Structure 1
Amino acid sequence: MTDHLFNLHGDVLAAMRRGPKAFAKLAFVLSEAEEPADIDLSHFRDRIIEAGPGDELIALWHRTLTAWDLAEQADWSDAPPRTDARRTDTHDRLGFGADLRKALDEAVPVFKEPGAAVISKEFTSWYSRDTAAARAFYWNSYEQTLRRKGWSDAAVSSLDEASHAVVERLSDPTRPEAYGARGLVVGYVQSGKTANFTGVTAKAVDAGYRLVIVLGGTLNLLRSQTQRRLDMELIGQENILRGADPADTDALVGVDYQDDEDWPAKFVSHGGRPSTLGAFDIERLTTRDDDYKSLLNGIRTLEFEKQVRTQPLYDPANLHHAAARVMVVKKNAGVLDKLLRDLKKIGPILSEIPALIIDDESDQASVNTTDPAKWENGKVARKAINGQITQLLGLLPRAQYVGYTATPFANVFVDPGDEEDIFPRDFLISLPRPTGYMGVQDFHDLESEGTAEETHVRGIYDSTGDRLQEAMDAFVLTGALKLYRAANGVPEGPFRHHTMLVHESVQQREHAALALRINSMWHRSAYTGQEGHARLAALLTKDFQRFADDGLPAPTSYDDLKPYVSRARQLINSGGEPVIIVNGATERDYEQAELDFDRTPHVWKILVGGTKLSRGFTVEGLTVTYYRRTTQQADTLMQMGRWFGFRPGYRDLVRLYIGREVPMGKKKTVDLYEAFEAICRDEETFRTQLTRYAALVDGKPQVTPAQIPPLVSQHLSWLKPAARNKMFNAELVEIRSPGQWVEPTAYPTETADLRHNAEIWLPALESLSQEAAVFVTLADDDRAGFTRYPARTAVLSHTQLLGIMSSLAWGRPDLFAPHLAYLRDVSGAGCATDDWTLILPQTSGPKSVAASILGSQPITLVQRKRNVRGVFNRISGVAHRQSAERIAGLRPLSDDDPFASQLQQPRRGAVLLYPVVDPDRGDPADLVTVGSIDPANVVLAAAFIPAVSAAGESVPYVRFRAVDSSRRGDATIEVP
């Protein structure tokens, strides 16, 4: 039966390419109605209310509304994307009444997850939404592919916006003057960056880029994975077959995917050769199995035919009729040398080709790591790959360079003044954390006392010794649970592969010994006997049943799971051994069929390896990790986090066994879990800063990419953001943070320093009120509820607080110095705080301990634990912050919080102060004598929030020095 309503709405929405318009008027024009009043929207409202799953009309509106909600370019609305205000503007433009609005909003809630954060130079707009829609053959095909794969409307729209943000900052491919933009896209480890650069490629070739070079990792395995992904989801069957009939078996001889079980069913089909459908073809210059060797058909492969010979290739009359060329090449000196030699033979046409260079894992091999101090006569010396990339950019003056990485620190520390290098001078884009992604928040409780660590994280030792056997048991047990779920209605697709990663060392000889140990342990594990089953049953009860996802099928007892344990053991032991070693110095070492997750139906193995498992290589189905390798670089350590990623249908089964006291060097141990937490904090701080500075001020960027390096921080002194040879060009001087929390955590441990700090704080303690004020924390969602807490208060002048902060001893003075510089700056652009409300929360109850410090009135003590490096993980209580934020002007005042209202006034900040006792020094009650506590046992720790700006907005700033070769005599860059 024809769905007339769906067809009409499809026609109407198709006509709204520029944004929402008066729906009824447009529907009247496109329908056969005699009067506008004949368009009865009540039928649409009823359809929404009564619709069941899979209703095409609702799906159509879901796609459309979500796209409008997320659109960054919306000349029909001044409201920010992803807000209720934007949706209200949409309804207003559509002319919908209250009942229809309510029904639509219930069916399609506003998607409010954050979008990409963009730091950019000012650029000339050329790639509007109309421009993109006018030529969108490959993007439309890619979008449909993603939807067939099950991507949600919000995910597709988010990718659309993020990839559009990249392409619009490239140079117009038809621009007469050659310009090569340089950009960087920052994702998360194993978070789908390939999807973003596939979307960018689709939009770029649609727009006119005719040569795409993807630098796809340093291994054939990684390069071929990228090639296959692009072939499958973008280039498509017809371009791969080069016009051959798919039914002609003779014509298919030699096609590189004949042995691929997904060919051709899962490879996108354009419905015909694109050039016969009004678009253009894509010619592959590399294949799944063949990296770039030489131009197989001679130099003529890159000779573009011109419709108008007297005009350059980039002229629209020629550009939009020419085929695009795509190659995926390994970052290998020999391969890139062949490419450069061939390009040099082509001649002047190179200056006419709009080209796009995508550098996957751009902080690996691509960055120049030579020491400027050792350059001869000031001439830049380059490492091999970096030198070849700069040559490539020089040969192609219309080439746009876009790097992709999850660890951007090395890239943003590239010398901004080196015009030939890959510093992202034009834009830096931080992608949002994707829905369904397991990342830092799932393994580390950064903001509060959560359950992430309890759920997923285990030490590698317990009271009985090494837990490698337990980790292997967990691998077998989770395999059985996956099989059980697949048999009970959970789609089997996510469970195609099931892997465990054991990562202890970078030494190949140690990998062989470890693999032998695991194999021996496997054969002694008695998984077919009573002893093995007893261990698995106990592990199921004490661990996996406790943290099982309530929304997924679960066995009521181990007996229900036992048949699946047998099958899991068989799958893991296929081939006779459960272990694969993943290492080696040559490509041959990686040519193992069981490492090819694309072409192998099922990989159920324990992978043992080192460096090659920690960069770019996606371990599919990873469920259990046993990890104890160390490094002193944060970006290297972050790339080892292979347990981050998408875990559909089994995220509750993921377990990380990680070393808590691992030897590193002479007489030194490190806590790897703490190290990961520190670098995760560094990464989140960096992303938070990018988000803050992404907002335009008076239509202008707050910062440019050249001013980004000082936003990089480190929470552990021994764990640098990147290797020393990648950090030549930045020195942080100041962080300005109006309306933003500053929470120093590196306090001294020496007795004299602690007593000194108590003496500095004593006048403030003596000025605290005798009676406690009662502050209120309100629920942040629609639930009713609040929390009250008492606190002693005082008001300090800015001079008083600055005097205290300037006089304190710090465990890491360098970490607090940029914030102190901000507090000292009382100029018009500096700290807009005249005085501060000092809040000292008080506790009550049987375990509460109060004590006098150096004769002060009694104040209650709190416990915070230092990590092994002497730094506190956190200071302030989350429940205590709301009132302080009201006082500082970050939150609106509330009648439910009268004391905050009384204390709030313009240009007033707030300080939360805590007398902290480290439990390693003893129980607070035992440290108090005759109502007093020795200040050597107390850290007076503060978190503060400066007043928001006079305009009522919280706009942070930075001031710093950046080493820039183009301004040797003037190294200071000021951000006003």
Structure 2
Amino acid sequence: MTDHLLHLHGDVLAAMRRGPRDFARLAFALADEVEPDDSEQARFRDRVASSGPGDELTALWHRTLTAWDLAEQADWSAAPPRTDERRADAYDRLGFGAGLRKVLDHAVPVFKEPGPTVISTTPTSWYSRDTAAVRSFYWTAYERLLRDKGWSDAAVAGLDEASHAVVERLADPMRPDAYGARGLVVGYVQSGKTANFTGVTAKAIDAGYRLVIVLGGTLNLLRGQTQRRLDMELIGRENILRGADPDDPEALIGVDYQDDEDWPAKFVSHRGRPSALGAFDIERLTTRDDDYQSLATGIRALEFDKQVRTQPLHVPDNLHRAAARMMVVKKNQSVLSKLIKDLRKIGGPLLSEIPTLIIDDESDQASVNTTDPKKWEEGKVTRTAINRQISELLGLLPRAQYVGYTATPFANVFVDPGDGEDIFPRDFLISLPRPTGYMGVQDFHDLDRTDESAAGSAERAHVRGIYDDAHGDRLAEALDAFVLSGALKLYRAAHDVDDGPFRHHTMLVHESVGVKEHAVLAGRIRSLWEKAAYTSQEGHDRLAALLAADFQRFADDGLPTPTAYADLKPHVSRARQLINSGGTPVLVVNGSKEQDYEQPDLDFDRTPNVWKILVGGTKLSRGFTVEGLTVTYYRRRTQQADTLMQMGRWFGFRPGYRDLVRLYIGRAEPVGRTRTVDLYEAFEAICRDEETFRAQLTRYAALVDGKPQVTPAQIPPLVSQHLSWLKPSARNKMFNAELVEIRSPGEWVEPTAYPTAAADLRHNAEVWRPVLDLLGDGPVTLLPDAAAGDSFEAQVGTLDHETLLKILCDLRWSVPSQFSPHLESLLSAGEGGERIDDWLVVLPRQTSPRRVEASVLGSAPLSLAHRSRRRGDLFGAIGEPKHRRAALRIARASDATNRSGDGTLESLARDRRGVVVLYPVVEEKPPPVSPTGAIAPEHLVMAFGLVAPGSSSAPKKNLVRFRTVDSTRGDFAIVERGADGS
């Protein structure tokens, strides 16, 4: 039976490409059989109010209203997207009454989740929504496929918005002059970045880009995964078959997906060859199994036929009739060399006409120039091979747009903006929102908790240590959790969980990067598996206890979970059989050769069910998607935040089994008088770094007077570091990065890079000279630790914060960058209520009979300290331990909260008071003191150490920020302040 209402509304909404218009008027104009009357809205309202989840009319309006809610470009409404006001404007233009509005709001709530954050210098006038709608053949097919796969309207609309935001910042493919934009898209680890760049590719080729080069990983396995995804969801059956009859067995010989269980049913169909439907074909220059080949046919395939041969390819008459070419190539020197060689054969004139899109997946891997920083500093600029070849590609293709995709952007934003041959995202940086249904940092770390001693709900539900007092190493328990969670998946599949079926079920064990260690670990796991006795009563008792103590406690109320172990027991047996298929439960994933990864159980696309425990290192920690990952046992440490973050394979989408996910991770354990590294804490620190970075991007993304508040080149200072030992990226990826700020509240800071020139030493002494007059005449005795009995005499006085800042800003240094990050922190103190009121200046006095005292520039006599420079212009230790302890107590530092028992010291302490300890240092023996008891300032180093008050910053951990050195700007001061401190 024909659904007349659905057809009518479909026709009306199709006519609203530019936005909502008067619905009744359009319906009257488009109705074929029945003239609409005043009861039309009532019938529509009743239909939506009574509709079930599968009603197509409600789904149509769900898609339409969500798209209008999210649209960034809406000339029909001044209200911001994702607001009730925007929805109200749509209803007003549609002419809908209050009753219909109420019903629609109930059926289609306003989508208010945040959209992409865009930092851009690129105008967006060429790619409007109208432009996108006119040519949308491949995007429409991709959108239809996503809906068929069960994507929600909000998810599809969000992807539409995010991919549109990328394409509109590329150069117009039809512009007369060639321009190549450079951009970076930042997603989350395992969060669906491929879906975004598939959408970007679909829209870009619809708009006119005719050569697409996807740099898809460093392994054939990863490259093949990306090729399959694009073939399945974008290129489609008809382009893969190149016009051959899909029902002719002989025509299918050689098609690379004949052994793929998803071919052809799950591959997008264009319902005919695109070129026969008024669109254009996509010709694949690579296949699932074959990377780019340097062949004559490859060269010819890159030659574009032009309808009007006297005009360049990029004019509309040629561009929209030409087939697009697409290749997915490995980041491999040999493969890229073949491609570059073939492009050179084609020649510059034609290459300059080809609108090209280069997508760089995992762009912080291999692509960034990681040459030796020392060689770079010496002017010996030798690019790494992959970085050089990407630069060559961009040079050969003047119309090439480079878009990098990564979840760990720090290496990319530290690229030198002034290096014209590199891939700094000079034009735009887009941060994608956290996708709906994604398990990320908030699901494993309780970032908002205030009680540091108590575990939050996320930690209790999903996180377990790798040791406990009762059993020691918990690897055996992790294996039990893997078997039990597999059984629970089977139980849910048998109870018709909508999010199933649970095709793959995996566990990841990651302890080391060493191949030999992996073999030993795999043997240990096999031994534990054999001893686990999952078919015995002992094994079942153990699983029953784990079910009651853990999985039932944290089960999702909306998903089936057995109340009795007896109901789960049959599924336990089946889970054990699936895991042990092939005679072993363990799969080792490592090695440096391609054949090491050509294991059937590593191909999640072609293997029906992968139920295995994967043991590996680096290759498992980047790019490689571990499907069905449910239990992770992780204890590897690294000192690079981006490396550590990429190891977070437990982040991702877990439909139907979010509550079953378990992370066994290294926690701090006492070893003697120290604590081991807490990997969970390290993950939380880098997650905070990334959340801070994203929040800062969002803060500065809003335009002011139509102009961006920051450009991509100004983004690196937003990169922060919450753990001092955990760097944002490896040093060879950060050699263009400059340390901007070190926030060290409650910690002793001791600069050592004092000048050597006489004029600079005199200058510093003159800067400090007024402070000496503020010190009390009589010394006080300070006792920082009564038990140690290490008292000392000192003169003390106070300075307000602004006065000290003027002094510190005026000092001269042999290496200014050593102290400037700390100074930057003091200059920013006061933001967010982190105020510093004043500083206690402490000038220790020596009481030894061998002490040397002298006045400087007419001051009272000072006790001189002898110190030596140890590394070039740098001194060794200057401050004495007892002085440091006293300063920490007076500043009420977090690690010195116990009272010393000294009333004088305690009386000097304040909540918002910092401490500066002055050391008049001489380097010569004996000191050159004149007969009058004076020393020339040219022979004196006015050294100091300081402690900012512990209350001056809320976080307990260090906060470090970096920025990129721009080679086009020359040398410039990190901290620039006028004489008045402004």
Give TM class, smaller chain.
0.7 to 0.9
Does structure 1 residue 246 correspond to structure 2 residue 237?
A: no
- 1:498 has 2:499 as partner: no
Q: Is 1:654 aligned with 2:661?
A: yes
* Structure 1 segment 153-552 matched on structure 2, within 5 A: 153-295=153-295, 297-347=297-347, 348-371=349-372, 373-375=374-376, 378=379, 380-448=381-449, 450-463=456-469, 464-491=471-498, 493-552=500-559
Where does residue 966 of structure 1 map in the other structure?
A: 968
Q: For structure 1, which segment, 539-548 or 89-98, has the greater mean C-alpha deviation from structure 2 after superposition?
A: 89-98
- CA gap of 1:834–1:490, structure 2 versus 1, over 3 A, is closer
The question of 1:72 aligning with 2:72 is answered: yes
Q: Distance in 2 between matches of 1:823 and 1:299?
A: 61
Q: Is the 8 A contact 2:415 2:964 kept in 1?
A: no
C-alpha change, 1:119 and 1:595, in structure 2 (3 Å) is same
Residue 746 of structure 2 corresponds to 747
Write the distance in 2 (CA, Å) between the matches of 1:532 and 1:815: 57
Distance in 1, Cα, partners of 2:820 & 2:667 = 27
The one-letter amino acid of 2:711's match is T
Question: Aligned partner of 2:465: which letter?
Answer: G
Give the 3 Å change call, closer, same or farther, for CA 295–280 of structure 1 in structure 2: farther
Q: CA RMSD in A?
A: 3.5
The answer on whether the counterparts of 2:740 and 2:974 sit within 8 Å (CA) in structure 1 is no
Q: What's the offset of the Cα at 1:302?
A: 1.1
Amino acid at match of 1:522: W
- Distance in 2, matches of 1:699 and 1:663, equals 56
Rounded Cα–Cα distance in structure 1 between residues aligned with 2:110 and 2:65: 8
Q: Specify the code of the residue in structure 2 equivalent to 1:461.
A: Y
Does the Cα contact within 8 Å between 2:209 and 2:356 map onto a contact in 1?
Answer: yes
Partner deviation per Cα, 1:940-968 (whole Å, 9 max, x = no partner) = 754789xxxxxxxxxxxx99974211121
Q: Counterpart of 1:297 in 2: which secondary structure? A: helix
What is the deviation of 1:681? 0.4
Tell me how far 1:306 sits from its aligned partner: 0.7
Question: 3-state SS of the aligned residue for 1:535?
Answer: helix
Q: Are 1:683 and 2:690 counterparts?
A: yes
Question: What SS is found at the alignment partner of 1:713?
Answer: strand
Q: Distance in 1 between matches of 2:973 and 2:658?
A: 48
Instruction: Please say which of residues 15-24 and 710-719 is displaced more in the overlay.
Output: 15-24
CA distance in 2, matches of 1:959, 1:537: 49
Q: Distance in 2 between matches of 1:150 and 1:920?
A: 57
Measured after TM superposition, the shift of residue 297 of structure 1 is: 1.7
Report the alpha carbon displacement of residue 816 of structure 1 after superposing the two structures with TM.
7.0
* Pairwise CA distance, 1:222: 0.3
Q: Pick one of 569, 587, 601 that aligns with 2:576.
A: 569
**Which deviations, in whole Å up to 9, do the C-alpha atoms of 1:23-55 show, x marking residues without a partner?**
122222222599875463122122221222211
Distance 1:973 1:620, change over 3 A: farther
Give the partner amino acid of 1:403: G
**Cα displacement string for residues 424-459 of structure 1 (whole angstroms, at most 9, x for unaligned residues):** 000000000000000000000111263111110000
Provide closer, same or farther for how the CA distance between residues 625 and 807 of structure 1 changes in structure 2, counting only shifts above 3 A: farther
TM-superposition CA deviations, 1:895-944 (whole Å, max 9, x none)? xxxxxxxxxxxxxxxxxxxx99979989x9xx9999x9999999975478
| Per-residue Cα deviation, 1:740-795 (whole angstroms, up to 9, x for no partner) | xxxx7853389xxxxxxxxxxxxxxxxxxxxxxxxxxxxxxxxxxxxxxxxxxxxx
Amino acid at match of 2:715: I
Q: Is the 8 A contact 1:582 1:610 kept in 2?
A: yes
Kept after mapping to 2: 8 A contact 1:962/1:972 = no
Hey, what's the Cα distance between the residues in 2 that align with 1:297 and 1:692? 51
Local SS of the residue matching 2:571: helix
**Closer, same or farther in 2 for the Cα pair 1:442/1:296, shift >3 Å?**
farther
For residues 194-217 of structure 1, the C-alpha deviation after alignment (integer angstroms, 9 at most, x for no partner) is 000000000000000000000000
2:685 touches 2:722 (CA, 8 Å); kept in 1?
yes
Partner SS state of residue 115, structure 1: coil
Give the match for residue 701 of structure 1. Answer: 708
Partner of 1:770 in structure 2?
A: none
The aligned amino acid for 2:572 is V
The separation in 2 between residues aligned to 1:247 and 1:712, in whole angstroms, is 56
Going from structure 1 to structure 2, the CA distance change for 1:239 and 1:296 (only over 3 Å counts) comes to farther
**Equivalent residue runs for 1:949-960 within 5 Å:** none
Q: Distance in 2 between matches of 1:376 and 1:820?
A: 30
960 and 678 in structure 1: CA distance in 2 versus 1, 3 angstrom threshold: closer
2:845 aligned partner: none
Unpaired runs of 5+ residues, structure 1, are 736-743, 751-798, 825-830, 839-914, 946-957
276-285 vs 31-40, which moves further: 31-40
- Once the two structures are TM-superposed, the CA of residue 801 in structure 1 deviates from its matched residue by 7.7
Identify the range of structure 1 (529-538 vs 198-207) with the bigger mean alpha-carbon deviation.
529-538
Counterpart CA distance in 2 for 1:500 and 1:516 is 16
Q: Is the 8 A contact 2:745 2:893 kept in 1?
A: no
Structure 1 residues 106, 257: closer, same or farther in 2, change over 3 A? same
Contact (CA 8 Å) 1:186, 1:407: kept in 2 or not? Answer: yes
Deviation at 1:249, TM superposition (A): 0.3
Deviation at 1:557, TM superposition (A): 0.9
CA contact (8 A) 1:312 1:352 kept: yes
Contact 2:720 2:961 (C-alpha < 8 Å) held by counterparts? no
Report the Cα distance in structure 2 between the residues aligned to 1:485 and 1:804, rounded to whole angstroms. Answer: 66
2:634 to 623, 627, 633: 627
> How many pairs were matched up?
821
1: CA distance, partners of 2:746 / 2:487: 48
1:144 aligns with 2:144: yes
- Aligned amino acid, residue 261 of structure 1: E
For 1:813 and 1:445, locate their aligned partners in 2 and report how far apart those are by CA, in whole Å.
34
Q: Secondary structure at the match of 2:304?
A: coil
Change (3 A) 1:372 1:628: closer
Q: Aligned-pair distance for 1:380?
A: 3.3
The equivalent of 1:559 in structure 2 is 566
TM-score (norm. length: structure 2): 0.79
* 1:159 Cα deviation after fit: 0.5
User: 2:107 maps to which residue?
Assistant: 107
TM-score by length of 1: 0.79
Aligned to 2:606: 599
Deviations 1:70-101 (A, max 9, x none): 00111111111111111111112212222221
Deviation at 1:821, TM superposition (A): 2.4
TM-superposed CA distance for 1:491, in Å, is 3.8
CA distance in 1, matches of 2:193, 2:618: 21
Partner residue, 1:724: 731
* Matches for 1:571-586 after TM superposition, within 5 Å: 571-586=578-593
Alpha-carbon distance between aligned partners in 2 of 1:675 and 1:212, rounded to the nearest angstrom: 38
1:657 is paired with a residue whose SS is strand
Post-superposition offset of 1:654: 0.4
Give yes or no for the alignment of 1:29 onto 2:36. Answer: no
SS state at 2:228 partner: helix
8 A Cα contact 1:959 1:974, kept in partner:
no
Is contact 2:719-2:961 (8 Å) kept? Answer: no
Deviation track 1:671-695 (CA, whole Å, cap 9, x = no partner) reads 1000000000001011111111111
Provide the identity percentage.
Answer: 75
Q: Quick one: which amino acid aligns to residue 529 of structure 1?
A: S
| Distance of 2:911 and 2:537 partners within structure 1 | 54
Task: Output the amino acid matched with 1:198.
Answer: T
| Contact 1:733 1:817 survives alignment (8 Å) | no
SS in 1 for 2:86: helix
Mean CA deviation greater in 697-706 or 376-385: 376-385
Is the CA contact 2:824–2:975 (under 8 Å) kept in the aligned structure 1?
no
**Which amino acid counterpart does residue 748 of structure 1 have in structure 2?**
E
SS in 1 for 2:9: helix
**Pairwise CA distance, 1:492:** 6.8
CA distance, structure 2, for counterparts of residue 120 and residue 189 of structure 1: 23
CA radius of gyration, larger in: 2
What is the SS of the residue equivalent to 1:359?
A: strand
- Residue 91 of structure 2 is matched in structure 1 by 91
**1:294 positional shift:** 1.8
Letter in 1 for 2:439: M
